[in-house]
Amino acid sequence: MHARADAADTAPNWPDDIFATLQRYDVRQVPYVPDAGHSTLIQRVLASSTMRGIPLTTEEEGVALLAGAWTGGQRGVLLMQSSGVGNCINMLSLIPILRFPFLTLVTMRGEWGEFNPWQVPMGSTTQGVFELSGIKVLRASNAAEVPAVLEAAAAQAYNALTPTAVLLSQRLIGAKVFTK
């Protein structure tokens, strides 16, 4: 279950804002490793007639999939949580080499109000890993800024071939709680 860590950010429709932006940019392939923070968006994708949700066994598969999708004329977006970013590292080398549009939306763990210490090391290095890999990082920390951040990210990824990761902060999603 999720508890809202920040009462001001309880607006439930930010996943719909993301979906609308992806739709507007004609995104067709949506590979993902599930995360609770992405569950609403994944439902929207799986119910969509224009997007194909593609469950992965590990996140790096999604990087290679998007290279193939682009070669075949389709745009995609990779959905994952911060722990999955580490799984992608070598495959991220395809992005500058093949020069395809890369957009990933990452739900953050290991930050704002985290309960599980095992999430903290990868959550703490997520942004650095992306930056060292040549991927620009944008962050959305509250629901109100999601539409503008998504628009900027999609525009630079698809129009300017600037590989981009959007970090959806744990403050936005709500820290996962296991205790009463």
Partner 1 sequence: MSKANLLDRRQVVSTLLADRKDVVAIGGLGASTNDITAAGDHPRNFYLWGGMGGAAMIGLGLALAQPKLPVLVITGDGEMLMGMGSLATIGLQKPPNLSIVVLDNECYGETGGQISHTSAAADLVGVARACGIADACAISTMAEVESFAVCVHDVVGGPRFANVKIDSAELARILPSRDGTYIVNRLRGDLGFLPI
Q: Is the dihedral of CA 13, 17, 20, 26 positive or negative?
A: negative
- Interface region with partner 1, contact rule CB under 8 A, candidates 48-56, 121-129, 141-149, 169-177: 48-56
CB proximity list for 103: less than 8 A, separation 6 or greater: 27, 76, 77, 78, 153, 154, 157, 158, 163, 164, 165, 166
Q: Which is nearer to partner 1, 39 or 159 (CB)?
A: 159
Instruction: Give the CA angle between residues 33, 7, 130 to the nearest 5°.
Output: 35
Among 6, 9, 60, 114, binds partner 1 (CB under 8 A): 60
* 57 touches partner 1 (CB under 8 A): yes
Among 66, 77, 143, 150, binds partner 1 (CB under 8 A): 66
* 68 touches partner 1 (CB under 8 A): yes
- Interface region with partner 1, contact rule CB under 8 A, candidates 68-76, 107-115, 116-124, 162-170: 68-76
* 137 touches partner 1 (CB under 8 A): no
* 65 touches partner 1 (CB under 8 A): yes
Residue 81 and residue 38 in contact, taking contact as beta carbons nearer than 8 Å: yes
Work out the angle between the directed axes of helices 14-24 and 146-154 (0-180°, nearest 10). 20
Q: Which DSSP letter does residue 96 get?
A: I
Tell me the residue ranges of DSSP E strands in the chain: 27-32, 52-55, 75-76, 78-81, 103-107, 136-140, 164-168
* 32 touches partner 1 (CB under 8 A): no
* 156 touches partner 1 (CB under 8 A): no
- Interface region with partner 1, contact rule CB under 8 A, candidates 1-9, 34-42, 53-61, 144-152: 53-61
Which residues bind to partner 1, rule: CB under 8 A? 28-29, 52, 54-58, 60-74, 76, 90-91, 93-94, 97-100, 159, 161
